[in-house]
């Protein structure tokens, strides 16, 4: 007999529909799986047999052939186990075939017959929109995001047989979202001093501008970066589902409620490979850290220790907000609209620019060259972070809290949405001409910066976008002033690296402009 059960497998961050066709015929006992299964799929024959026998069901002592159709792409993961088991039970008459019509299944089977969680449950069920889908009970809260009332959560293979073949009710599984409070995020009030860096952090959060922090060890670069995500607003419904979808496909842990509501924070180690950072892989195109950080913050600590080849792979994602992974089997596109925050020392020993620096000139030059100019050109805000003074550490009053700054950030982001973008960093040239007109002083300052070669064409656009954010934070007026361009140019200036003399970059205190040549 022949039985067919719909299921799905992962293809990047998307689900791909699979027809699990099971044929049971007379002949020597055997179990064959065809249709380009990977190793985990082929191992289903052992898991499925043990699960069926452990559930007090009959295993057919005949020839079993399983075809995973269509056969033109590789099937990955153990999520097809449950569909294979139901196909065998249907083909052997233990579940009437008519009861399998309109039913799909996704889930891994344990040897004891339990139905276990699978990677990427949300994109998997999204492609099974027309059926009732049997899913693991542990994945129920995420599955209902794509299925709503069509989800049928189960804990074991026995539950499925009881509901389909014996008319028993489906197991009662709580699929409601928990409105649990989000875990407390680090507060910006913990940072003492660092007025310039705090200003840079607020600009980055408000305008979506990529940020580089350069300074010696112990200056507070990591402390500042980890507080950036607390300045960002909650995710909207569409963004929350997209982030949950990516995290589900990447196998990352999800919150108790199932839906990711806060912007993610990802901080990969500097030994990360190309595939782990931007995505890809030989078996299947998995999302990397860049995609896992979409709608949130990607923090690259010790930027100078990353492989230059890996860092340069970030150019396109930073520019376009997507990662396109081309392989012989096709091209996959993963979201990568994240806010990059990078931190690095000015030289290998970290004491560059002071008398304590122990690095040779060649090592300082080599270290500074690990971050390419084209990548730096895509970072809108760059600031030097000095070690705070003892007075600032011990006696200074706490600065503004994250909640206070987050209110200003939310107001600026609301202005950006009214301009048709999510953040000011996404404003196109035409949009900048419309929403960021320059007064005479601003135009003259930007012109001089271009003439002396301090800015590229891309850099000029990004300076205008940062100036738009500065003006939005101050009073939201339409016209960009010379002081706004001056402050944006200061933040555009590359902080001292490679042992150069340290000249901290700070916003103009009196609202005045800066020399373009210094930028």
Q: For position 399, what pLDDT does the model report?
A: 80
pLDDT higher than 50, residue 517: no
Q: For position 501, what pLDDT does the model report?
A: 47
Q: For position 90, what pLDDT does the model report?
A: 93
Q: Has residue 395 been placed in a domain?
A: yes
Residues 218 and 365 in one domain: yes
Q: Tell me the pTM.
A: 0.86
- Residue pLDDT, tens place only, 319-345: 999 998 877 667 888 999 999 999 998
**Domain boundary at 97, 130, 165, which?**
165
**Domain boundary at 131, 165, 199, which?**
165
Q: For position 513, what pLDDT does the model report?
A: 39
For residue 233, name the pLDDT band (cuts at 50, 70, 90): very high
Using the structure block, give the residue that is written with the tokens 């992962």.
10
Residues 110 and 24 in one domain: yes
- In whole angstroms, how far apart are CA 363 and each of 143, 495, 497? 53, 18, 12
pLDDT higher than 60, residue 499: no
Characterise 453 by phi-psi region: left (phi > 0), alpha (psi -120 to 50), beta (else).
left
Using CA atoms, how far apart are residues 273 and 43, in angstroms rounded to an integer? 29
Q: Has residue 170 been placed in a domain?
A: no
The pLDDT mean for the chain works out to 87
How many other CB atoms are found less than 10 A from the CB of residue 174? 10
- Residue pLDDT, tens place only, 281-309: 765 678 899 999 999 999 999 998 999 99
Q: For position 516, what pLDDT does the model report?
A: 35
Residues 298 and 379 in one domain: yes
Kindly report which listed range (11-15, 211-215, 287-291) carries the lowest average pLDDT score.
11-15
Structural domain including 71 reads 2-165
Query: Which CATH number characterizes residue 374's domain?
Result: 3.40.50.300
pLDDT higher than 70, residue 428: yes
pLDDT higher than 70, residue 177: no
Residues 155 and 199 in one domain: no
How many other CB atoms are found less than 10 A from the CB of residue 480? 25
Provide the domain count of the chain: 2
Q: For position 395, what pLDDT does the model report?
A: 66
**Domain boundary at 165, 200, 233, which?**
165
Helix axes 81-91, 157-165, angle to 10 degrees: 40
Q: For position 367, what pLDDT does the model report?
A: 85
Residues 287 and 337 in one domain: yes
Section 345-363 average pLDDT: 80
- H or E element that contains 48: helix 44-54
């Amino acid at each position: 007999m022949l039985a067919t059960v719909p299921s799905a497998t992962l293809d990047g961050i998307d689900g791909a529909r699979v027809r699990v066709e099971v044929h049971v015929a007379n002949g020597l006992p055997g179990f064959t799986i065809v249709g380009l299964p990977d190793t985990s799929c082929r191992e289903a024959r052992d898991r499925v047999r043990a699960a069926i026998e452990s559930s007090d069901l009959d295993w057919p002592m005949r020839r079993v052939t399983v075809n995973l159709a269509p056969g033109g792409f590789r099937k990955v993961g153990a999520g097809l186990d449950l569909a294979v088991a139901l196909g065998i039970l249907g083909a052997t008459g233990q579940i009437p075939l008519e009861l399998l019509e309109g039913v799909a299944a996704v889930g891994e089977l344990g040897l004891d017959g339990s139905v276990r969680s699978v990677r990427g449950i949300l994109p998997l069920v999204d492609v099974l929109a027309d059926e009732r889908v049997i899913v693991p009970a542990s994945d129920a809260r995420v599955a209902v995001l794509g299925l709503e009332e069509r989800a049928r959560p189960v804990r074991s293979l026995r539950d499925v047989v009881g509901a389909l073949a014996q008319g028993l009710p489906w197991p009662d599984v709580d699929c409601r979202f928990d409105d649990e409070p989000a875990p407390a995020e680090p507060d910006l009030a913990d940072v003492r001093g660092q007025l310039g860096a705090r200003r840079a952090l607020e600009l980055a959060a408000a305008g979506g501008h990529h940020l580089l922090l350069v300074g010696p060890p112990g200056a507070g670069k990591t402390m500042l970066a980890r507080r950036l995500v607390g300045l960002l607003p909650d995710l909207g419904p569409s963004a929350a589902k997209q982030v949950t979808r990516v995290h589900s496909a990447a196998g990352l842990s999800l919150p108790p409620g199932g839906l990711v509501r806060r912007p993610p924070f990802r901080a990969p180690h500097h030994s990360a490979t190309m595939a782990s950072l931007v995505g890809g892989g030989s078996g299947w195109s998995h999302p990397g850290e860049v995609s896992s950080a979409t709608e949130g913050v990607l923090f690259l600590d010790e930027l100078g220790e990353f492989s230059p080849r890996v860092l340069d792979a970030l150019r396109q994602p930073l520019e376009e907000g997507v990662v396109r992974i081309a392989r012989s089997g096709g091209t996959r596109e993963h979201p990568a609209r994240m806010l990059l925050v990078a931190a690095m020392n000015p030289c290998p020993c970290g004491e560059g620019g002071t008398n304590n620096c122990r690095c040779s000139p060649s090592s300082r030059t080599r270290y500074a060259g690990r971050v390419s100019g084209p990548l730096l050109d895509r970072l809108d805000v760059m600031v030097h972070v000095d070690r705070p003074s003892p007075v600032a550490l011990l006696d200074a009053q706490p600065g503004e809290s994250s909640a206070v700054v987050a209110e200003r950030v939310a107001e600026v982001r609301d202005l950006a949405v009214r301009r048709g973008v999510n953040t000011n960093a996404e404003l196109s040239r035409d949009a900048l001409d419309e929403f960021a007109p320059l007064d005479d002083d601003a135009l003259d300052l930007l012109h001089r910066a271009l003439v002396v070669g301090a800015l590229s064409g891309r850099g000029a656009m990004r300076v205008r976008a940062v100036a738009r954010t500065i003006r939005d934070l101050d009073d939201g007026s339409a016209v960009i002033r010379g002081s706004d361009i001056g402050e944006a140019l200061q933040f555009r200036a590359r902080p001292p690296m490679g042992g150069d003399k340290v000249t901290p970059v700070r916003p103009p205190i009196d609202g005045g402009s800066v020399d373009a040549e210094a930028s």
